[in-house]
Structure 1
């Protein structure tokens, strides 16, 4: 009966050993995963995996049969209690990106102010999947290298399915786990994005409005706040800041110089 050792239906088998304190899915019925990123992960699984075993995996996840899940770069390891006394060992592997690839991805994220701001705020912008694709990689894995120590020959077995569904719920709680699985922890990514913060704009003196009442509506200088004329621009400065086409530079130089001159006193 070894081949049917952990089949919870048929052949008179009693089903899995119930455990106390296992990891239990929050979802009681229907689909698992509520955010766009966890649903994206589940959609990939449900397209390529056996629907019957996925259904039994959801039942295992909701019963609390998964004892532990540990995620690190490129690998998830878990223990699932079946009908045998010894829990089954589950391993799910994906590609973890190297430092050079992550440097490229972080630079691409930092170049998009909105994406960068949302990640720094703890959110996962939907456009980040396209950003990864533009770099030639997938944010969500298309291929999973999965293994379970159970005797079930199906792929994936219900033990693997239970772990994958609970992993999706973990992604709901912390979207940075998706990136950590690819090789970048939250601390590493946010530290890199914070270090790439653009230069702060120059400080501008804040004058209280009450002190501006005397001249706020005046068209120009007043006796209370004499006009401060700007210093004349250095010759050729405007040409360097706003360079015209090469063949016009010499012809426009006198006009640019006159624009930078101080106007004559009335």
Structure 2
């Protein structure tokens, strides 16, 4: 049996703590989009334990590089586990295509130069055949722990903290795909400087998506019932310390259920 001194020396180190204390994580549309993908492809039980790890300071280190996130997570053993999360980082030629596509949309370009992340940017990436966010086939994850579950709670903790990092700086989403913030903004400024404002004026207020495309958008039956709550910025309102969006989410799901009270049963 370990002595009290040994047991004390093996207490988990204090690491990074998530800001969110309860409920789901992710405050901005881009971080919630990332969380939505994770909660679709990952085991819910391990995601729940991962949130607890993220909130209790178990993630000791977290580094983001093009195509790679590396972290160390303190588990139940004395030696922390190594966590790696990888996606495809686009190359220079691919980013040249993406930058031209973004620069051709005056409104998107203006928002990016102002430090904002327009929701339509995801469509621009999709139209270029290069997704902004990874799906289960584009996300490679590995942890040195012995847990055979996927992802384990250590990986889940890192992914939730990564979403909070995205909250703080949306350009980290792009940097993870291989384009540093300043490099992108410099490229966009060059495009803006090359085109006289008088020539850009007529197209400045053009919609990023044609009206015909908006009218004929196919419905997506798989869209979550609470998609608006996930997409819009949450109001700073809480009831008994619980965010109002967490309280509204079950109501949205009940309203979208065709078997909810007031509707005939099939």
TM-score normalized by the length of structure 1: 0.68
Question: The residue matched to 1:101 in structure 2 has which SS?
Answer: helix
Once the two structures are TM-superposed, the CA of residue 190 in structure 1 deviates from its matched residue by 0.4
> Structure 1: which 5+ residue stretches go unaligned?
1-15, 203-266
Q: Which of the residues 39, 49, 59 maps onto 2:32?
A: 39
Residue 104 of structure 1 corresponds to: 97
Residue 144 of structure 1 corresponds to: 139
> Structure 2: which 5+ residue stretches go unaligned?
1-9, 200-266
Contact 1:70–1:77 (8 Å) recurs in 2:
yes
Q: Determine the C-alpha separation between the residues in 2 that align with 1:146 and 1:114.
A: 36
Q: Determine the C-alpha separation between the residues in 2 that align with 1:153 and 1:24.
A: 25
Q: Determine the C-alpha separation between the residues in 2 that align with 1:201 and 1:134.
A: 28
Q: Check 1:145–1:27 CA distance in 2 against 1; reply closer, same or farther (3 A cut).
A: same
Question: The residue matched to 2:108 in structure 1 has which SS?
Answer: helix
Report 1 or 2 for greater relative contact order, CA contacts < 8 Å, sequence distance ≥ 6. Answer: 2
Once the two structures are TM-superposed, the CA of residue 200 in structure 1 deviates from its matched residue by 4.5
Q: 1:40-189 alignment to 2 at 5 Å?
A: 40-142=33-135, 143-189=138-184
1:179-200 per-residue CA deviation (whole Å, 9 max, x = no partner) reads 0000001011001001111225
Contact 1:75–1:94 (8 Å) recurs in 2:
yes
Question: The residue matched to 1:92 in structure 2 has which SS?
Answer: strand
Once the two structures are TM-superposed, the CA of residue 61 in structure 1 deviates from its matched residue by 0.1
Out of 191-200 and 168-177, give the one that drifted further: 191-200
Once the two structures are TM-superposed, the CA of residue 201 in structure 1 deviates from its matched residue by 4.7
1:50-102 per-residue CA deviation (whole Å, 9 max, x = no partner) reads 00000000000000100111111100000001111111000000001111110
Matched, 1:191 2:186: yes
Question: The residue matched to 2:83 in structure 1 has which SS?
Answer: strand
State the number of aligned residues: 186
Larger Rg: 1
Question: The residue matched to 2:13 in structure 1 has which SS?
Answer: coil
